[in-house]
Structure formats: C-alpha cells, structure tokens
Amino acid sequence: MNYVSTRDKSVKVSAAKAIAQGISTEGGLFVPDTFPTLSVADFEALIKMNYIERAKFVLSQFLNDFSEDEVDYCVKGAYTGSFDNEQPAPISLINKNANILELWHGPTCAFKDLALQLLPYLLTTSAKKVNDGKKTVILVATSGDTGKAALEGFKDVPDTEILVFYPSEGVSPMQKLQMDSQKGENVHVCAIKGNFDDAQTGVKKIFTDNAVKEKLAENNMLFSSANSINWGRLAPQIVYYVSAYCDLLEREPECVKDGFNIVVPTGNFGNILAAYYAKKMGVPVNRLICASNANNVLTDFIKTGTYDRNRNFYTTISPSMDILISSNLERMLFELSGNNDKEVAALQDSLSKNGTFTVSDEIKTKMGELFWAGCCDDKATLETIGKYFDEYSYLCDTHTAVAMNVYEQYVNTTGDDRPTVIASTASPYKFAKSVLSAVSGKTGDSEFDTVRVLSEETNTEIPEPIKALENAKVRFKELCEKDDMLSAVYGALGI
Ligand SMILES: *Cc1c(COP(=O)(O)O)cnc(C)c1O
C-alpha cells in the first residue's frame, strides 16, 4: 500500500512520508491507494483483544513502512496510562438502540486525544525514517479542542516545536485557559483576530509557501501538520469504530447482523470520514449520519450536491463544529469520484476561488446512499441535553447533543430502528456553562464555580484535567492579526 495525493495521483509516498509531510506539495491530501479489509476471522480475533491490541492490529495495516516493534512502541506509548479509563473508548448504552461511544476520557477531555496522543509517536518515528535529523515544526489551526490535544501530545517531544493558532472569540473560556496555560519547552500558542476558517486558511497558506519552506530548511527545520489533514490523525480514529463494532458484537451478535448506524457531530469531516473508512474495511455500517450545528454547510451539501461556504458564520455553543470549510470532505470526494484526482482538484479549485462547488449527479447519489444529514440550532441543543439528562440520567456535552438531536430526526424521518453508535466527542465539563443551564437553568459565578455546581446538580465527577486547570498559570497572551500569522511563526521559532 502507498499513499497518493487527492489532487495528483502520480504523487505516491510511503506512510512515513505521508505522516511526516502532512499535506502534499500541490495542496492535496494523502489517502491510501488501496484499503485493507477485515475478514470474519479477523473480527473474531479482534473481539478477544483489548484496545491497545486492536489498535496495533488495525494500524499495522496502514503503516506499511513501520516495523512491528515500531507500531508496538507507538501504540503502547499513546494509550498506556493516558486515559482515565482502562478502555480509552468505552460505550454507554442509554436506551435500546443508542450506544454512546465516549471518546473523551483522555488528558484534554475531547475525542481529539485518541488521535493526538498517538500522532507524536507516529510523527517522530516517521521523521526518523524520512527527514534525516531535521526538527519538525507542527503548525495547528484549532477551533478549540485540537489545539489543546496537540499541545498535550507534543509537549517536550524531542526534535519538535508546536505552534497553535486559535480564533480569539471562537473558543470556550475553558478551551482558552487549557491552551493559554500549556506547559512545555517547545510549545507556542497564539490567538488570532478572525474565525477558525481564517486560522485554517492562514496555516495552509504558510504550509504551501515555498519561500517559507526554504527559510525553514536553512534552519534545519521542516513543517508538518497535526490537523486532521494529516493521515496520522485519521488512522487512529478508524480504530475506535472498529473497536466499537467489536464491543457490540461481543455484547449481542444478533443485534448487529443487519448493520448499525453511526452518528457523528461533524466539523472538519475527519471523525465521520474515519467511520466511513471503517465501513470500507468491512465494519457493517448501515448509514453514516452527519450532524451539524447552525453552520450547516454539510447538511445542505449532502442534501443538494452543492457545497457553498458563502453564508453567515455562526458562533455557537458547540464551537468545535463552527466550520464552513470542511477539509476532509476532499478525501471523501476522492472516494466518491472513483479516485478521480482531476475532478477533485477542479472542485477544490472552485471552492477556493468561488467558495462553492457542485458535484456530479453520480457523486451526489452515492453520497446520499452512504450519508444522512441533519442540523440543529443552539436552542434545540440545550433542550436535547436537558431531555437526555431527565430521561436517561445521561449527561452529554453540547457537541454530542447535536448528534443526539439529529439522530432523533433521523429515526423520526426514516423509522430505522437499528442499533446506533453515537460518537460523544467531549466531556460535558468542557462546556459547563451551557450544560448547567440546560439541566438546571442555573448559572455559576465563575467558570470553576459553574463546574462545581454542575457536579453537585448532576451527581457526576469533575474530570481531573479540568480540576487541575483552576490553579493553572496563564503563559500565553499573544493576539495577532490574521495576516500576521507568518511573523508569529518566525517569532516563535526564533528565525
Ligand atoms: C473537533 C470536534 C468535532 C468535529 O470533528 P471533525 O473531525 O472536525 O468533524 C466535534 N466535537 C468536538 C467536541 C470536537 O472537538
């Protein structure tokens, strides 16, 4: 297996190269040119394994130029002792069909940890193979959760520097504090005046600028990405969908014989794409349900075949999904077009020039067969949190609530009562203010007061990483114009 660029299939690289480089030079994203499939016997073996063993099994199929020892070192390093639960991705069954896949038991309380605890291992192992001694500089644009998870994953990792940009008004107070108080010698954090798309566009521009690349090279440095455009982010996410299927099989094989659905609260399309890849590998997924908040560009796209980012941008209570340019959709388009790099390049070109594209009827039809899409606004999000707490005593965060709401819409529209896995992407304590008001109508005086009241009202535990933040010292206070991101990069690197 090799990795090809979605915009030029003649660009063919190994897994290590794809991960070390992050993005292809002409702007395309790396995807495997063939996909491994899992047999019935494989699943029987996987069921008996723990999460670390399952991860090794699945990932080794994608890491073509990693040795068995290297995969073992990476996976064990990532998942040993870093999650508050022996099982990093446990399932909570809240009613007959709704299986909540809790992906927030890691050090930053969001699903990004599943990938970003592993990525530094994958990246440094890859860099040793292909980058002959250069220092890797990680640039991150974040809507809140990626930034912190990447900082935690990369802090003090030798031969790396990490620089995170976040929209100053676009993240929750807890997310902001999590990032601004980050410890580590190789970490840098900068708020920008703009929204997430500005941050992401700025980072992509710096990445693909040849003059910048040369300047880094002169200083024996090289860029890579910890955003979900990096294949090393996506591969670890496939694992938890395979693992969730194994857990369902183990619990009640009969109930998944006609397949099951997966609902994912979606922003950059990385998490739901990983669920699609799990399906492609043989996990019997019926429908992939794409849930959006008021920034419903994907809902419209899946329903109409036209992607149009020329619309209002809303700042919502589920900020990690406040995105109008879903980068990983590009990989899905590559799939749906039958690996047609020219077609993908033309669509992406139209997106960057006009902010919109319309796919062929063929792609639209295939998309409609695989996906179902829905969205919900802040009011419905809060009602959903309240409802699930009242009815099932299950406390969920704002992002997960969007998924639960859209799942209800799906069931009401289609009548499909198959078992369903709902990806729960963050701890409710990361968005305590919204969650508290949803379950009790109360508000706290300060952020941490709110956290305590939420714990008392709901009789749930405050996660340790959130508790520890209360006394954390703010280290980063920089705020830069969106056009000054490059100087912030040079400043942080001292070049
Ligand atoms: C990042 C994030 C999402 C969106 O995931 P994508 O892979 O970008 O679609 C949803 N919920 C939370 C809590 C997140 O941090």
For 288-331, write each residue's pLDDT tens digit. 999 999 999 999 999 999 999 999 999 999 999 999 999 999 99
Question: Does residue 216 carry a pLDDT above 90?
Answer: yes
Beta carbons of 199 and 227 less than 8 angstroms apart: no
Question: Does residue 261 carry a pLDDT above 90?
Answer: yes
The tokens describing 300, both together, are 């419209």
Q: Which residue lies with its CA nearest to atom 14 of ligand 1?
A: 320
Mean pLDDT calculated for residue range 197-205: 89
Q: What band does 96 get if pLDDT is binned at 50, 70 and 90? A: confident
Q: Which residues are catalytic?
A: 112
Q: Which is more confidently placed, 7 or 93?
A: 7
CA of 217 relative to ligand 1 center, distance in Å: 33
Query: Helices (DSSP H) in 48-193: which residue ranges?
Result: 51-60, 68-79, 112-116, 119-130, 145-154, 173-180
The tokens describing 185, both together, are 């010698």
Q: In the predicted model, what is the mean pLDDT of the chain?
A: 95
Confidence (pLDDT) at 169: 87
113 in ligand 1 pocket by Cβ < 6 Å?
no
200 in ligand 1 pocket by Cβ < 6 Å?
no
Residues near 461 by beta carbon (within 8 Å), at least 6 away in sequence: 455
Q: Which of 111, 233, 318 to mutate to test the pocket of ligand 1 (most atoms within 8 A of CB)?
A: 111
- pLDDT tens digits for range 56-79: 999 999 999 999 999 999 999 999
425 in ligand 1 pocket by Cβ < 6 Å?
yes
**pTM value?**
0.94
Give, in order, the Cα–Cα distances in Å from 9 to each of 46, 62, 359: 33, 18, 20
24 in ligand 1 pocket by Cβ < 6 Å?
no
CA of 57 relative to ligand 1 center, distance in Å: 25
CA of 272 relative to ligand 1 center, distance in Å: 9
CA of 12 relative to ligand 1 center, distance in Å: 29
Question: Does residue 395 carry a pLDDT above 90?
Answer: yes
Beta carbons of 151 and 162 less than 8 angstroms apart: yes
Task: Tell me the percentage of the chain whose pLDDT exceeds 70.
Answer: 100
110 in ligand 1 pocket by Cβ < 6 Å?
yes
Confidence (pLDDT) at 197: 86
Q: What band does 121 get if pLDDT is binned at 50, 70 and 90? A: very high
Beta carbons of 327 and 234 less than 8 angstroms apart: no
CA of 278 relative to ligand 1 center, distance in Å: 18
Beta carbons of 108 and 149 less than 8 angstroms apart: yes
Index of the ligand 1 atom closest to the CA of residue 430: 13
229 in ligand 1 pocket by Cβ < 6 Å?
no
Q: What band does 185 get if pLDDT is binned at 50, 70 and 90? A: very high
Confidence (pLDDT) at 196: 86
Confidence (pLDDT) at 207: 85
266 in ligand 1 pocket by Cβ < 6 Å?
yes
Closest C-alpha among 111, 57, 52 to residue 76: 52
- Interatomic CA distance for residues 112 and 107, integer angstroms: 10
Confidence (pLDDT) at 352: 92
269 in ligand 1 pocket by Cβ < 6 Å?
yes
Q: Which residue lies with its CA nearest to atom 1 of ligand 1?
A: 320
Confidence (pLDDT) at 346: 98
CA of 195 relative to ligand 1 center, distance in Å: 16
Closest C-alpha among 242, 258, 239 to residue 250: 242
CA-based Rg of the chain, rounded to a whole angstrom? 21
Give the pairing type, strands 306-308 and 479-481.
unpaired
- Interatomic CA distance for residues 308 and 302, integer angstroms: 11
228 in ligand 1 pocket by Cβ < 6 Å?
yes
Index of the ligand 1 atom closest to the CA of residue 274: 7
Give the pairing type, strands 371-375 and 285-292.
parallel
Q: Which of 179, 399, 424, 430 to mutate to test the pocket of ligand 1 (most atoms within 8 A of CB)?
A: 399
Helix, strand and coil content of the chain, in percent to the nearest 5, comes to: 50, 15, 35
196 in ligand 1 pocket by Cβ < 6 Å?
no
